[in-house]
Amino acid sequence: MTEAADVADALGVHLPRSTIDRRLDGAASMVGHEMSMLQDLKRGRDLELGAIVEAVQEVGRLAGVSTPYLDIVSALARARARH
């Protein structure tokens, strides 16, 4: 979320830290719920990495903002999906 906020900031869109914290808290409260990407992975479907991760990476590159954590997450998710 922080890297996405950094990319947004570079585009002149400010995401308040409270918004980021609220999103993270919401995700943490969903114990036992399988997110759609995990469901796709388990069913052997294509992952939604393009819309969820790679779009932020691409805009970050265009804006000169590095996204090292998203780069790692994307690479690991792709590797896991292949196996």
Domain residue spans of the chain: 2-82
Residue among 82, 64, 80 at smallest CA distance from 72:
80
Query: How confident is the model at residue 48, as a pLDDT?
Result: 85
**Record: fold of 2-82:** N-(1-d-carboxylethyl)-l-norvaline Dehydrogenase; domain 2 (1.10.1040)
Q: Check: pTM over 0.85? Answer yes or no.
A: no
Residue among 59, 60, 57, 61 at smallest CA distance from 73:
57
Q: Residues of the chain with pLDDT > 70: what percent?
A: 100
**pLDDT grade for 60, boundaries at 50, 70 and 90:** very high
Identity at 55, one-letter amino acid code? A
Query: How confident is the model at residue 83, as a pLDDT?
Result: 81
- pLDDT (tens digit, 9 = 90+) per residue, 36-52? 888 888 898 888 888 88
Say if CB 20 and CB 1 are below 8 A apart.
yes
